[in-house]
Amino acid sequence: MERFFNIWFSKINISNGLKLKILDKYTNPEMIWALKENELKEIGLKEKAIKEILDKNTRKQAEEEEKFILNNGIYVINCKEKIYPEKLKKIKNTPAVLYAIGNYSLLNEKSVAIIGSRLPSNYGKKIAIEAGREMSNNGIAVVSGLAKRNWCLCAYRCIKWNK
């Protein structure tokens, strides 16, 4: 059930900073889900944020997304969970919610982020794939925002080699 509430919380259209502030007070998205409008007002949230938190469409979208996540072995982790990467907890505006695939315990090990062009050349694609294989073979986790192209190719190759 925690997964569902993390998905829902990630989909709320409010700033990450505001999500972190709310999590500091309530510690998990399930508690936030249960809050009533007047309780949200009491913690100093503005009308727009309250509307976003209570939005039924966001809640419905989370239900639909959960099916996809379950079918694809994706983990959804909020920053208050024990498995959330320690390195990320140390940054000022840590992501409130992470999506991960593969061995999420590697998020606390050596890691590298692959970045590159959104329109890579054939050479760039080749290098990204080779980098993914090398990282995987050497126990280095690839951290990716899963945007398009090079870093996605690299992350895909790491997942393919199941490392």
Residue 46 confidence (pLDDT)? 93
CB atoms within 10 A of CB 103: 14
Predicted pLDDT of residue 150: 43
Residues 6+ away with beta carbon under 8 Å from 130? none
Q: Give pLDDT tens digits for 61-88.
A: 999 999 999 998 889 999 999 989 888 8
- Percentage of residues of the chain with pLDDT beyond 70: 84
User: Measured between alpha carbons, how far is residue 67 from residues 7, 56, 74, 118 in Å?
Assistant: 11, 18, 10, 29
pLDDT at 99 over 70: yes
Residue 162: pLDDT band (50, 70, 90) is low
Distances (CA, A) of 2 to 7, 20, 102: 9, 17, 19
